[in-house]
Amino acid sequence: MALFKDILKKNKQTTHRHGFVNLGLRKPDPGSAELTGDETSSLPAILNPSETSPVSGTAASQQKQRLETVSRSSRPKQDLLSCRYELKYRITEGKARAIKAYVQNFLPMDRYAVLHPEGQYPISSLYLDSGNLDLCKETLSGKANRFKLRIRAYDDNPENPVFFEIKRRVDKVILKSRARVERPHLASVLNGSMRYQADCPAEQEALDQFLYYKQVILGRPVVLVRYQREPFEGQGDHRVRVTFDRQLCYKKVTAAEVVMNGHGWHRIPIPFVILEIKFTNNYPAWLRRMVHVFNLNRSSMSKYVTSVKESKQAGLQTVFPYYLE
């Protein structure tokens, strides 16, 4: 396992085409009350399939060992990962409007959001998990090192791509890799019947890693999650992103599809807006003031887990069994 400082050295001058500037992370300013402890503990590496060893024991122990192996995966390659801190809050609609007015003094609207009349765009994500929903259970149990597999789209246009994403959490650090895939090839790429050539080596490696992770956990489509995002993002080396997520919905699926519309969607009646703050090297003073002035208290909020739990409550026990109580 590579130490954090080794990863910083390797990634010092690299960027990720879909995410934050990958200059490495360091501890936030001492005045920040939001992050405590050693944020710069060891990061995981990407597991090279050729370096793995066979697992043994019962099926349950094999599955557990697979998950542990992936969670400990080895060194990330350059240009592959977005690396950041991520803070989440549940806030009222009224507070969301006030915070938005404050944030606009420091951050412009996201370049894609400005293309939409209300400054918001929809996101639909297909989540994959094992037959026992192990990834979901790891989030529920608060495991420090975990990951999610999802395929994301922003519309239903068949000419626009989907994005295969791995989102890893290593203690308080978020690592995200993604690769674009042309939408007509989604199912064949996911089931392994097609060897897809990505746009660049970094995305190819991200895609290969996604498919390997899927194979390791015996992943399958579980649920579609959709919501509206209102994003603001600054530029430069110390990028900050603030988003407001609303209208959370889910759709039960078993096939490899990522859709925005159609039948089968269920609205999740959450009485709050999901505020997310994402930053890399620095936790700006204006963010600290915002947290203090608006009396923000961090709260866990997994859209995937919420959708799975809501699906069970809606009577979908055949897909989401008893252990999500």
For residues 78-91, average pLDDT: 73
Provide the residue ranges of all domains of the chain, joining segments of one domain with +.
4-324
pLDDT number for residue 321: 54
Residue 243 tokens read as: 């988003």
The answer for residues whose C-beta is within 8 angstroms of residue 175's C-beta and 6 or more apart is: 43, 44, 76, 81, 82, 83, 167, 168, 169
Using the predicted structure, report yes or no on whether residue 318 has a pLDDT greater than 70: no
CA-to-CA separations, 106 to 103, 165, 287, 291, in angstroms, rounded: 6, 29, 10, 14
Residue 207 tokens read as: 């895609």
Using the predicted structure, report yes or no on whether residue 283 has a pLDDT greater than 90: no
Report pTM.
0.76
Range of lowest pLDDT (39-48, 283-292, 299-308): 39-48
Return the higher-pLDDT residue of 165 and 14: 165
For residue 140, the SS3 value is helix
DSSP3 helix / strand / coil % (the chain, rounded to 5): 30, 30, 45
Identify the band that residue 191 occupies on the pLDDT scale cut at 50, 70 and 90. Answer: very high
pLDDT number for residue 2: 36
Distance of CA 63 to the CA centre of its chain: 22
Return the higher-pLDDT residue of 71 and 218: 218
Closest CA to 128 of 223, 198, 56, 22: 223
pLDDT number for residue 300: 87
Give percent of the chain with pLDDT exceeding 90.
56
Return the higher-pLDDT residue of 154 and 84: 154
For residues 271-275, average pLDDT: 96
pLDDT number for residue 63: 55
pLDDT number for residue 61: 57
Residue 57, Cβ neighbours under 10 Å: how many? 10
CA 136, CA 304: separation in Å to the nearest integer?
Answer: 8
- Is the CB of residue 171 less than 8 Å from the CB of residue 144? yes
For residues 168-178, average pLDDT: 89
pLDDT number for residue 64: 54
In single-letter form, the type of residue at position 72 comes to: R
Domain 4-324 in CATH 3.20.100.30: yes
CA 284, CA 68: separation in Å to the nearest integer?
Answer: 35
pLDDT number for residue 171: 84
pLDDT number for residue 155: 95
For residues 317-323, average pLDDT: 53
**Side-chain half-sphere of 89: how many Cα atoms within 13 Å?**
21
Return the higher-pLDDT residue of 189 and 281: 189
CA-to-CA separations, 309 to 138, 180, 282, 302, 312, in angstroms, rounded: 14, 29, 35, 11, 5
Identify the band that residue 282 occupies on the pLDDT scale cut at 50, 70 and 90. Answer: confident
CA 149, CA 135: separation in Å to the nearest integer?
Answer: 9
Q: What is the dihedral of CA 67, 71, 77, 78, to 10 degrees?
A: 130
For residues 235-248, average pLDDT: 88
Residue 61 DSSP one-character state: H
What value does the mean pLDDT of the chain take? 78
Closest CA to 178 of 160, 153, 203: 203
Range of lowest pLDDT (81-85, 204-208, 263-267, 303-307): 81-85
